[in-house]
């Protein structure tokens, strides 16, 4: 796992087509925006897990960090 520190207004690039923009810090919460091509699906881990379950797929271990 790569761990990065960023400040509000800064961006993290993933490949050529995906960017994470740090929008707001509020206590322990971070608000960020994601720019990605329309064919790239972006879900919260718990939503993605529900999608897999609904499709009848085997559960996929989505890493969720401990608080």
Residue 50's H or E segment, with its range, is helix 45-54
pTM given for the model: 0.71
pLDDT band at 55 (very low <50, low <70, confident <90, very high): confident
Residue 10, pLDDT above cutoff 80:
yes
How far apart (Å, rounded) are the C-alpha atoms in residues 59 and 30? 27
Q: Domain limits of the chain?
A: 10-56
Say which DSSP state 44 is in: -
């Amino acid at each position: 796992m790569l761990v990065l520190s960023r400040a509000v207004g800064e961006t993290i690039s993933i490949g050529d087509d995906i960017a994470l923009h740090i929008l707001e810090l509020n206590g322990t919460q971070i608000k960020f925006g994601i720019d990605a091509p329309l064919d790239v699906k972006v879900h919260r881990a718990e939503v993605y897990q529900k999608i897999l379950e609904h499709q009848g797929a085997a559960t996929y271990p989505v890493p969720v960090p401990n608080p």
